[in-house]
Structures are given as structure tokens and as C-alpha cells.
Amino acid sequence: MKELINKLSKDFNITDAVYQRPSLTFVTVPKGVAISLVTDLRDYEGYSHFVMMSCVDWIEEGKFQLLYLLHNPETKTDIGVKTFIDRENAEMASAHHLWKQVWTYQRELKEAFGIDFPGSPRVDEDFVVEGWVEMPHMRRDFDTKEYSENTYFPRPGRETNDPATYMRKKLYPNEPITAKKQDNDK
Amino acid sequence: MSEKDMNDKVNEMLQRSETNVKKAEKTFIHPEDEEREVVAPDGSIIKINPIYDYFSNEKPTEEKPCSGVIEKFLNWARAESIWVLGFGTGCGSIEIPPLVTPRFDMFRFGVQMRPTPRQSNAFIISGYLSVKTLKRVIRTYEQMPSPKYILALGSCTINGGMYYDSYSTINRLDKYIPVDVYIAGCMPRPEALLAGFMKLKELIKEGKGEKANEYARNFDEYKANQKKIIKDWNMPDYNW
């Protein structure tokens, strides 16, 4: 795996490489290089199977992290290509021409995080939630509890208990709660 | 590149950046449901509006119960033949198949499953209900013939259950369609479901199974609540 990364570093600007285990490696590249690296891995290094595409919201840094996970069926190894894109007006080059199943992943990311993939087929269609007009629902600044309380008529009288504390009080009412137990509860 | 092409390109880019604004304004009517002109078989051109032409858009009306012994007899008959629509909305629908097995056997109570809303008079909302499914539930409920009964299964339909803070599942079912019997639990066992059917029978025999009339009476209120959360309302207001 290290040989492959060394080889790729000559052609691509790999900023970080994490060797998770012998069969799994993650590399981080700048936004503009990601699709060409994925294409290179597919066409020349044997990573022909597209496993999945995913996104992480780094709200503190103001970034989205995209991950393309690829699999090599011959060597039975995986490689994840990570890249950071800006959170505001998030836009990424589309990879729909490499695998058809990327269409669906990009459509999902468009709906859940609001990342635009210009040119990707059917990317503007609804994916899971129909008729969603709020902020994309998987962004971390979307408060799902507040939205639910304002929208779905919460029934008054609902109580929420911490199961551990509640059961201890119920089963052992006379036993004082020690500091150690309190720590465990946290 | 000509000036017109340039303008088009700039417009396209502007549109892309305003996607979120557009999403709020976009209509959700499918192309096949849009109002349009078509050529009739005799060659004349006619205007059609599929949503309002193909479905009845009349409000439901209240049906007054008969009086005295006749209503009692009808209620007895209704209680003994509860035909349930085979429609599972959430995880609770897995509790329904055991009822058809010899161990629980719901047929001995006159309860049976039907494949279409036109043949059924009971509807089990089994577990959590997402907004997407609620749209189908409303459409199905309104297609069932009166008198019709709703059984709400599981705590998700009562107060949201473990999905109370989810952005896509409703908290209280009775704000959107009238509910006859709640069956509490997460998940309720098939025995609980049978107990729910027994309770429903009692209610019908007492003449309290009139929720279809309640729906017709408070139709505007229910519709307002439904439309508050179903943003892509691309069906008739009352479809049957």
C-alpha cells in the first residue's frame, strides 16, 4: 500500500495519508485533484469497484469533507480518497461519468447537505424527504429537535429519564449515589 | 461567444446559486398532472386539469346514524366483520403477520386482511409515520368506505416514541386523522393488537365508532394540519 501511495504522490498532491490497516488506506487531496485521482485509481491501479461516497460536516472549520471509497477486487484492498470543500455555496466536481451509482450518492448529498454537483443527472430531484424546503437536514446547524417541536404538535406531559439513574432510584431507593456512580452515569 | 450565449450562461450560473431559494418556490406537480391542452378523439382541442378532472374534489359529508334497533343491529354486524387494509407504515407492521397464523388467529374474531382500501374498513397505523408515508396514508384513508376505523399501534403514533425529535416523523397521529383505538407499547405484542380489536368491537357496539363523521365534521381543521407539514401537496384535497 505504501508503494502505491509513494507512486501516486509523484503525480498527485497528496497532503495526508493514513494507513488504517494493511487493506485500508485513506489519502487526503485538494479539491481540484480528487476526481482525477479517483479516475487514475480506477483506470490504472485496479480500484474498479466504487464502494460508497459520503460526507462529514466539519462545522467548526467551515468545511465539508467528502470521501470516495474504492475497492480493488484483485488485491482485496480499499482506498479512501478524502477532500475538503467549502461549506458555504458547497460545490464539487461531479463523478457521475465514472460509475452510474455515483448519481444516486450525489443526489443524496445534494438533498442532505446541500452540496451541488453541476452536471450530475437528476441531482435536483427529491431523494428521501419529499417537498423539503428547510435547510438541508443533515447539516449540523439544523436543529432537528427544535424543528420537530415547532412542526409536529408534541404531546404535553411527555417525560424523559436517564435509564440508569431512573432504574437505580427505583430498585435501590435507600442506597446513596456515590461520586463514582455519578461519574459512570455521565 | 455571442452576447446572448454569455447572458444565458450568466443566468444559468445565477440560477444555480439560488437553488435553495428556488427549492422553496418550486411546484411539486408532476408533468403528467399539469394543466394542459390535449387533442380529443374527434379532433377538437380541450383543456384538462388531471388532478381535478380525474378525482372527486367534493368535501366528505356526515352520514347520520340510523335510529334505535336498526342502528344497534348494524353496529353488531359492523363489529363482527372488521376488514383490515394490508398496509404497513413502520416497524410495527411486523406484528401483524403473526395474527394470521394459527397461534393468534384473528379470523375467529371476524378480523381479516384485505388488499385494497375499497374493501376494508379498518386501518392499522403500525408504528412511526414519516411525512412521506402520511401523504399515502391520507390518500388511502379517504378512499376507504365509511364507517371506517383507525387503530394506532405503538408509542410513535401517540407521542412520537423514540422518534419524537426526528425531523421527518410525526408526533401525534390524531392531529391528522381521527383515531379510534390506541395500542401502547414499543412494540406491542400481537396479543395487545388482539386486545385492541376487542376494544374497537366494544366501541362499535356502543355506537362510538363514528370517527369517519368526525373527520367530515372537522375536515378543514384536519386538512390545515395535513397541509402544514406536507409541503408538496400535489393531489386533490379530498380524493376518493
d(CA A109, CA A83): 15
d(CA A31, CA A43): 20
Residue window 57-96, chain A: list those with CB within 8 Å of chain B. Answer: 89
B170 chain-A contacts, CB cut-off 8 A: 152
Structural domain includes residue A168: no
At residue A27, φ and ψ (nearest 5 deg) are: -120, 145
d(CA B134, CA B154): 16
Number of domains in chain A: 1
What's the Cα-to-Cα distance from A117 to each of A64, A74, A124, A129, B181, rounded to whole Å? 14, 31, 9, 19, 48
Q: pLDDT band for position B13 (50/70/90)?
A: low
Contact A152 B171 (CB under 8 A): yes
Residue B235's nearest CA partner among B126, B104, B138 is B138
Structural domain includes residue A48: yes
Size of interface A-B (CB pairs under 8 A): 70
Q: Which residue has the higher pLDDT, B158 or B50?
A: B158
A130 chain-B contacts, CB cut-off 8 A: 28, 131-132, 135, 231-232
Does A147 contact B at CB distance below 8 Å? yes
Instruction: Write the CATH number for A47.
Output: 3.30.460.80
B167 chain-A contacts, CB cut-off 8 A: 129, 134, 137, 142, 144, 147-148
d(CA B193, CA B104): 10
Structural domain includes residue A6: yes
Structural domain includes residue A28: yes
Does A153 contact B at CB distance below 8 Å? yes
State the residue range of the domain holding A16: 2-142
Structural domain includes residue A150: no
Q: What are the tens digits of pLDDT across the range B163-187?
A: 988 999 999 999 999 999 999 988 8
Give the residue-averaged pLDDT of B40-65.
84
Does A156 contact B at CB distance below 8 Å? no
What does the pLDDT profile of chain A (186 residues) look like in tens digits? 889 999 999 999 999 999 999 999 999 999 999 999 999 999 999 999 999 999 999 999 999 999 999 999 999 999 999 999 999 999 999 999 999 999 999 999 999 999 999 999 888 888 888 888 889 999 999 999 999 999 898 888 888 788 888 888 889 888 876 655 555 555
d(CA A120, CA A117): 6
Nearest chain B Cα distance for residue A162, angstroms: 13
Determine contact, residues B190/B124, Cβ cutoff 8 Å. Answer: no
Q: What are the tens digits of pLDDT across the range B80-133?
A: 999 999 898 888 889 899 999 999 999 999 999 999 999 999 999 998 999 999
Does B15 contact A at CB distance below 8 Å? no
In SS3 terms, chain A reads as CHHHHHHHHHHCCCCEEEEEECCEEEEECCCCCHHHHHHHHHHHCCCCEEEEEEEEEECCCCEEEEEEEEEECCCCEEEEEEEEEECCCCECCCCCCCCCCHHHHHHHHHHHHCCECCCCCCCCCCCCCCCCCCCCCCCCCCCHHHHHHHHCCCCCCCCCCCHHHHHHHHHCCCCCCCHHHHHHHC
Structural domain includes residue A167: no
Determine contact, residues B209/B147, Cβ cutoff 8 Å. Answer: yes
B28 chain-A contacts, CB cut-off 8 A: 130-131
Q: What is the pLDDT of residue A179?
A: 56
Nearest chain A Cα distance for residue B109, angstroms: 33
Residue A106's nearest CA partner among A127, A85, A88 is A127
d(CA B123, CA B113): 10
Range in A118-122, B10-14, B70-74 with the lowest mean pLDDT? B10-14
CATH classification code of B68-229: 3.40.50.12280
Contact B232 A131 (CB under 8 A): yes
Contact B171 A89 (CB under 8 A): no
Mean pLDDT, chain B, whole residue set: 86
> Hey, what's the cell of B26?
418550486
Range in B27-36, B108-117, B144-153, B217-226 with the lowest mean pLDDT? B27-36
Q: Domain ranges for chain B, please list them.
A: 28-57, 68-229
Q: Which of A134, A142, A155 sits opposite B172 (nearest CB)?
A: A155
**Buried residues in A50-79 as b, exposed as e (16+ CB within 10 A):** beebebebeeeeebbebbbbbbbeeeebbb
Structural domain includes residue A52: yes
Does A141 contact B at CB distance below 8 Å? no
Contact A133 B171 (CB under 8 A): no
Q: What are the tens digits of pLDDT across the range B206-236?
A: 999 899 999 999 999 999 999 989 888 878 7
Q: What is the pLDDT of residue B17?
A: 47
Q: Which residue in A has a C-alpha nearest to residue B168's C-alpha?
A: A129
* Number of C-beta neighbours around residue A111 at 10 A: 21
Q: What is the pLDDT of residue B16?
A: 55
Contact A148 B175 (CB under 8 A): no
Structural domain includes residue A121: yes
d(CA B141, CA B148): 8
Q: What is the pLDDT of residue B240?
A: 65
